[in-house]
Amino acid sequence: MSEQNLPTQRARRQLLAGSASALAAAGLASFTRSAQAQMASAPAANLPPVPKPFPPYVSWKDTNAMILHSSTTIETKRASQGMGLITPAEHLYVRNNLPAPAASILDDREAWAISIEGVKNPRSLSLRELKTVGLESLPMVLQCSGNGRGFFPSKPSGTPWTVGAAGCVVWTGVPVRQVVELLGGALPGMPFMTSTGGEVLPAGIDPKSVMVERSVSAQAMGEALLAWELNGQPIPLAHGGPLRLIVPGYQGVNQIKYIKRLAFTAQESDAKIMSHGYRISPPGTPSDPTQPSVQEMSVKSWINSPLPERPGTAGPVQIQGLAFAGAHAIKRVEVSVDGGKHWRDARFIGPELGKYAWRQFALAVILPPGTHQLVSRATDTAGHVQPEQRLENVHGYNNNSWADHAVTVTLS
Amino acid sequence: MSEQNLPTQRARRQLLAGSASALAAAGLASFTRSAQAQMASAPAANLPPVPKPFPPYVSWKDTNAMILHSSTTIETKRASQGMGLITPAEHLYVRNNLPAPAASILDDREAWAISIEGVKNPRSLSLRELKTVGLESLPMVLQCSGNGRGFFPSKPSGTPWTVGAAGCVVWTGVPVRQVVELLGGALPGMPFMTSTGGEVLPAGIDPKSVMVERSVSAQAMGEALLAWELNGQPIPLAHGGPLRLIVPGYQGVNQIKYIKRLAFTAQESDAKIMSHGYRISPPGTPSDPTQPSVQEMSVKSWINSPLPERPGTAGPVQIQGLAFAGAHAIKRVEVSVDGGKHWRDARFIGPELGKYAWRQFALAVILPPGTHQLVSRATDTAGHVQPEQRLENVHGYNNNSWADHAVTVTLS
């Protein structure tokens, strides 16, 4: 839908014509960082910038709505999130730990098989068989645990996502608990549900050092799905088709793509991505299995209109944004137009799609000409309040700081 | 996402290799009709068929998921509706009464203006101004009143839609009632809300004979929107952008595209599309303003898995489908596997998105090898039950017959 992106392209052109330091001086530091990421993905001297060709497995993405960080890390632009209850697949971020398998695994989707282990009657089930066992549809925020890393002043290694490594999408599949019941139930003494992705591993290195295998609490089985549809269509390769584990409320790394094994286990996986990857390491410390693992998401919100690149004019303004949490629904969102000194309750827009989906909010305000710092702060039904400050950590995970997500707009 | 459509293309190839009369003899008459529609849009002798190029204003549609009836009438395939709570814009049907305006009307979306009349303080408002007045998001089934016309044995003139002239999408805009309040309220004695589309009319003929102008009850203002986003993105030209009237629960013709005038009026519009078009004319009678107009939708459901082209195998089967009504939510869906002799309650899948959205349903059954006629029957919260038979009418509107929407599958 390239016809729709002309305003964005225009804003980008204007930005590329200015200097980063001038924007920083004007208080637009966070926007500057995002702009630099965009510039890095476009030929420097050409105006308007031509988006890099996207790799074949994501060639169907709406390139105008996305920031191509690398061939396996692609972010949705903040201005492209709009007021969509559901993120179109074409706009959904991509973050793959390994290159996707060959597209030929989609030639016969229903033949894809998964081994279910740690149950009374372990066996392999094809997708064809899974489809006869049960059916559920679940709207859920899918978010990379590094979403917001771009706001860390420590500049952790890894993709500098701002807000666009998240989307709210609908997964359809069979509840894991129904599959487990069919196979006689999980064995006792197995506190973990450990899942393994079907990526092809590079030869010549220890598989444990690269394989995608993650453990979550076995209790997460209660609402987990083995999913074959994303937004009502077969899951694209980039998003884990033909079969993906969905653990609602958990960060993206736990939603295992191309899942080929699901096991109830006595121990967490000893794959490196579990033992040392995705750990909340205090500043200055190496990763370590005793540190907290990236699991459930935390309460979070951000504003996506107005934005510095699309400020609008002084007078009546509808401030708009998105809010979600991990295991709990959103109960309240407050908005401040003075950087967090004073707050007013926003109202929710549109229907609630269940506790794992995000909610749109809006607040009608009158803004005079000048510069305004707009912030939102969400509270979930368990009483968790989005904090002002991020929890500092080496790898830049779980950033839900409201201060980091502020936007500064200048209205005339 | 062309990678996903191989199974459909395969089924289509197999079908094209067979003869329509053989399929009809096997009891697959309704599928045959749909297949003929598909064949009509593909070069007859080429296997696999190459989809016709779509016209530029809909070039972004997923051509593999759609049936191109004409440049202004494009249907979603039944098998492509999947279990999507929300229909992607790329899969949403297209039905325009006139060619779309030039794409240049989207160059400056916010400059689009609408005249509000029949209120205390009539005036023109730009989209830029409308965006400051209010904000709401609404999931809603958008359906052409001719959806199901293809099942009429009388073969009415007009597009022979089967089930794919419908989708459930999210509209975002300002509630009409907030705009009307801002302008001092509707004048007394104005029972109709009359809206005019911004299509360019052909020269040399009476504008009233071609213009798109429809009247609904002024009470429909209560939940109507002036919408600028479809599924979180600016409304594409094909679907009425930059600004479209949304009257939830009403048939598609009342959702005025490119809306340039909204007026509270003492009389219904005298445009031909209102006075004579979209009337429920008894068989053998000419259209006439005294006949019922196509307004609110009726309770309706259909099964979209299994389908004749994708029957699956005997044994456990999850029968799946969609149900919606007009002004009321869906309360119950029953499913029969013997053509309507015996019924069982289906269960709902996924969240309810409000009373104007459709609901997915499923029923787990064991089907032995052989031929089965699968049917669904919906009931809304006001007690309306989907009828067995269509109401015969000259132009093939409002078909909600459960018998017409049956599917016959043969399992081995």
* Whole-number percent of chain B with pLDDT over 90: 84
Mean pLDDT of chain B: 88
Asked if B333 and B377 touch (Cβ cutoff 8 Å), the reply is yes
Residue B10: predicted pLDDT? 28
Q: What is the pLDDT at residue A116? A: 98
Shortest CA gap A3–chain B (Å): 8
Best mutation target, A8, A83, A136, to test chain B (most B CBs within 10 A): A83
B234-237 — which CB contacts under 8 Å span 24+ positions? B234/A4, B234/B106, B234/B109, B236/A1, B236/A3, B236/A4, B236/B57, B236/B60, B236/B89, B237/A3, B237/B57, B237/B100, B237/B101, B237/B103, B237/B105, B237/B106
Q: How far is A340 from chain B (nearest CA, A)?
A: 23
In this prediction, residue A82 carries a pLDDT of: 73
Q: Structure tokens of B163?
A: 């089930």
Please list the residue range(s) of chain A that carry CATH number 2.60.40.650. Answer: 300-411
B189: alpha, beta or left, given left = phi > 0 and alpha = psi -120 to 50?
left
Q: Does domain B103-275 have CATH number 3.40.50.12780?
A: no
CA A191 to chain centre: 26
**A153 exposed, middle or buried (CB, 10 Å; 0-12, 13-18, 19+)?**
exposed
pLDDT tens across A230-284, in order?
Answer: 999 999 999 999 999 999 999 999 999 999 999 999 999 999 999 999 999 999 9
Among B133, B170, B317, the residue with its CB nearest the CB of A85 is B170
CA distance B85 to B69: 25
Which residue did the predictor score with more confidence, B351 or A224? Answer: A224
Cβ-based contacts of A137 with chain B (< 8 Å): 83, 85, 349-351, 360
Q: What's the count of helices (H) and strands (E) in chain A, helices before strands?
A: 6, 21
Residue in B closest to A58 by C-alpha: B1
The CATH classification of domain B300-411, taken from the options 2.40.50.140, 2.60.40.10, 3.90.1300.10, 2.60.40.650: 2.60.40.650
**Which residues in chain A have their CB less than 8 angstroms from residue B80's CB?**
233
Tens digit of pLDDT for each residue in B177-202? 999 999 999 999 999 999 999 999 99
**Angle made by CA atoms B221, B227, B232, in degrees to the nearest 5:** 140
Q: Which amino acid is at A212?
A: V
How many Å apart are CA B171 and CA B161, to the nearest integer? 24
Smallest Cβ–Cβ distance between B353 and the set A237, A349, A353 belongs to A353
Buried b vs exposed e over A319-340: b needs ≥16 C-beta within 10 Å?
bbbbbbbbbbbbbebbbbbeeb
Which of A58, A107, A137, A310 to mutate: most B Cβ within 10 Å? A137
Q: Give how far B80 is from chain A: nearest CA, Å.
A: 7
**Considering only CA atoms, which of B224, B251, B304, B257 is closest in space to residue B141?**
B251
One-letter amino acid identity for A35? A
**A135, A171, A225, A317: best to mutate for the B interface, most B CBs within 10 A:** A135
Q: What is the pLDDT of residues B277-300, one digit of tens each?
A: 999 999 999 999 999 999 999 999
- Give the total residue count for chain A: 412
Residues B204, B208, B212, B217, Cα dihedral to 10°: 170
Partner-chain contact A83 B137, CB within 8 Å: yes
pLDDT on residue B84: 77
**How confident is the model over B171-180, as a mean pLDDT?**
98
Helix (H) or strand (E) holding B14: helix B6-17
Among candidates A232, A349, A360 on the partner chain, residue whose Cβ is nearest the Cβ of B83: A232
CB contact under 8 A, B86 and A136: no
- State the nearest Cα–Cα gap between A266 and chain B, in angstroms: 32
Say what the pLDDT of residue A193 is. 98
Min Cα separation A2/chain B (Å): 8
Instruction: Select the residue of A4, A139, A315 nearest B236 (Cβ to Cβ).
Output: A4
Averages of pLDDT over each 10 residues, chain A, 412 residues: 33 30 29 33 40 85 93 94 86 95 96 98 98 96 98 96 97 98 98 97 95 97 97 95 98 98 98 97 96 97 96 95 96 98 96 94 97 98 98 98 98 94
Task: Give me the residue from A133, A137, A317 closest to B83, CB to CB.
Answer: A137
Nearest to A256, CA basis, from A241, A266, A271: A241
Cβ atoms of A356 and A391 closer than 8 Å: no
User: With an 8 Å Cβ cutoff, are B170 and A106 in contact?
Assistant: no
Rounded to whole angstroms, the Cα distance separating B211 from B199 reads: 8
Radius of gyration of chain B (CA): 21
B141 CA to centre of own chain: 7
Q: At A282, phi and psi to the nearest 5?
A: -60, 150
- B385 — phi, psi (to 5°)? -110, 135
Specify burial of residue B341 (Cβ count, 10 A radius: 0-12, 13-18, 19+).
exposed
Which tens digit of pLDDT belongs to each residue from B100-136? 999 999 999 999 999 999 999 999 999 999 999 999 9
Q: How confident is the model at residue B51 (pLDDT cuts 50, 70, 90)?
A: low
Grade residue B267 by pLDDT with cuts at 50, 70 and 90: very high
Cβ-based contacts of A89 with chain B (< 8 Å): 1, 88
**pLDDT on residue B43:** 34
Residue B198 and residue B57 in contact, taking contact as beta carbons nearer than 8 Å: no
Q: How do residues B296-328 score in pLDDT, each as one tens digit? A: 999 999 999 999 999 999 999 999 999 999 999
Q: How far is B277 from chain A (nearest CA, A)?
A: 32
pLDDT tens, residue by residue, B137-169 = 999 999 999 999 999 999 999 999 999 999 999
Which chain B residues contact residue A86 at CB under 8 A? 85-86, 170, 231-232
Instruction: Check residue B5 and give its pLDDT.
Output: 33
Q: Which tens digits make up the pLDDT trace of B355-411?
A: 999 999 999 999 999 999 999 999 999 999 999 999 999 999 999 999 999 999 999
List where CATH 3.90.420.10 sits in chain B: 103-275
In one-letter notation, the amino acid at residue A201 is L
Q: How far is C-alpha B192 from the geometric centre of its chain's CA atoms?
A: 23
Asked if B236 lies within 8 A of A90 by C-beta distance, the reply is no
Å between B232 CA and nearest CA of chain A: 3
Interchain CB distance below 8 Å, A1 and B233 = yes
Q: Could you tell me if B403 and B303 are in contact, meaning their C-beta atoms sit under 8 angstroms apart?
A: no
* pLDDT category of residue B83 using cuts at 50, 70 and 90: confident
- Within A154-276, residue ranges assigned H as helices are 176-182, 272-275
DSSP state, residue B87:
-
* Best to test chain A binding among B2, B9, B83 (most A CBs inside 10 Å): B83
> In this predicted structure, what is the pLDDT of residue A51?
56
CA A273 to chain B, closest CA, distance in angstroms equals: 30
Taking contacts as CB-CB distances below 8 angstroms, the residues of chain B near A91 are 233
Query: Once rounded to an integer, what is the mean pLDDT over residues B78-99?
Result: 91
pLDDT given for residue B53 in this prediction: 83
Q: Which of A64, A86, A169, A360 to mutate to test the interface with B (most CBs of B within 10 A)?
A: A86
